[in-house]
Amino acid sequence: MKKPSDNTFAYIARNFFFLLPIVALPVVLLTVFQRETGAFDLLAEMAKTTAQTGSVKFSDFFSDLYAKVSIINFDRFADWNVSKVWFWLVTAIVVMLGFSLTVAHIERHMRLGVKEPFKWMSMMKSGAYNVFFYSLIMLVFYELCMVALSSFILLNSRIMNGWWAFGMSVLATVVIYAVFIVGFCFLLLTVPSMFCDGYRFGFAASYSIHLVAQHFKRFVGVFALTACLSGLALQLLKLVTMLLSGNIPIHILLYAIRALNYLWWLLFVPTYAIRNYIDYTEASRKDLKTLIFD
């Protein structure tokens, strides 16, 4: 087995132009059809309203809360009166296929030292099945977390007022996102396990949980720190863009920033998963080889 890069970020930097064509279409679709707002924007809106009126009230659970934090885009095109959810579904399918293709390329490159840029269709067919169940479970898990967050904020707004209510909403957001990140990390090695060793989904998921539990602090800590720094950088770039846009239309700059954010995550997640899976399992393979041949 080829020894993987000691640094996920170094691997992405060295192979950026090799991976870019694979994720280019998913990045474009996400930039155009993924909802721009999220939990951070909801909290910012709540803080502004609290400062102006002293309290925040929500009249509708779906439109005022859940639709703003959900990863699913429930908006409508103003000119056409057509829901964006159908375009979001197409985007989700393309992202899933792009993710499977990226994992397949990185796995073959790290494990075997082979780059095969011209076998996209065969690699996509073999990888899509492995990624489908994982993506579906992560989507459902995230949406359940957002339902819980929206429900808490709504209930909290009925019980408390002012900055106490806002503070509790911020705390709930941090806790729920932490729960999602931990759950996401526990299953993140599922897909590499299926690609590298051919395990079925159920066994691969349990093996992923086992491996992450053994390296919990480092694996989850690095991922969580990366998520926090990436989110902070995204918000700072948006703020700087709004202040220093100059003669360039601000919406073009914001689209560019969002594209860079999606590009980063579509490269980081598969690279981080494959690199750590190979790193965690390489020692056990060496021990097994020693027992068999020595």
Quick: pLDDT tens for 220-241.
999 999 999 999 999 898 888 8
- Tell me the CA end-to-end span of the chain in Å, nearest whole number: 18
pLDDT at 154: 93
Residue-wise pLDDT tens digits, 145-159 = 999 999 999 999 888
- CA–CA distance, 139 with 227 (Å, rounded to integer): 17
Q: Select the highest-mean-pLDDT range: 34-43, 116-125, 200-209, 284-293.
A: 200-209
- CA–CA distance, 45 with 262 (Å, rounded to integer): 24
Whether 143 shows a pLDDT value over 80: the answer reads yes
CA atoms within 13 A on the CB side of 65: 22
By CB atoms closer than 10 A (0-12, 13-18, 19+), residue 56 is: buried
- CA–CA distance, 155 with 152 (Å, rounded to integer): 5
Least confident of 18-27, 170-179, 276-285: 276-285
- The CB density around residue 130, as the number of other CB atoms within 10 Å, is 23
Q: Computed over its alpha carbons, how large is the radius of gyration of the chain?
A: 21
Instruction: Please give the model's pTM, rounded to 2 decimal places.
Output: 0.88
- Bridge partner list, 82: 77
Q: Select the highest-mean-pLDDT range: 43-47, 85-89, 142-146, 280-284.
A: 142-146
- H-only helix segments in the chain: 8-14, 16-33, 39-53, 61, 67-69, 85-112, 120-159, 162-187, 190-197, 201-214, 216-243, 250-293
- CA–CA distance, 162 with 180 (Å, rounded to integer): 28
The pair of three-digit structure tokens given for residue 88, joined into one six-digit string: 């979001």
Whether 120 shows a pLDDT value over 80: the answer reads no
By CB atoms closer than 10 A (0-12, 13-18, 19+), residue 229 is: exposed
What residue has token string 């899509």?
128
Residue-wise pLDDT tens digits, 241-261 = 877 766 667 778 888 999 999
Report the sign of the C-alpha dihedral through residues 43, 49, 54, 55, in that order. negative
Q: What angle do CA 151, 171, 177 make, to 5 degrees?
A: 70
The pair of three-digit structure tokens given for residue 269, joined into one six-digit string: 């997640």
CB 209 within 8 A of CB 187: yes
Q: Between 41 and 184, whose confidence is greater? A: 184
- CA–CA distance, 33 with 25 (Å, rounded to integer): 12
CB 30 within 8 A of CB 257: no
Whether 262 shows a pLDDT value over 90: the answer reads yes
Whether 3 shows a pLDDT value over 70: the answer reads no
The pair of three-digit structure tokens given for residue 250, joined into one six-digit string: 């601000």
What residue has token string 């293709």?
101
- CA–CA distance, 187 with 179 (Å, rounded to integer): 13
- Bridge partner list, 77: 82
- Bridge partner list, 83: 76
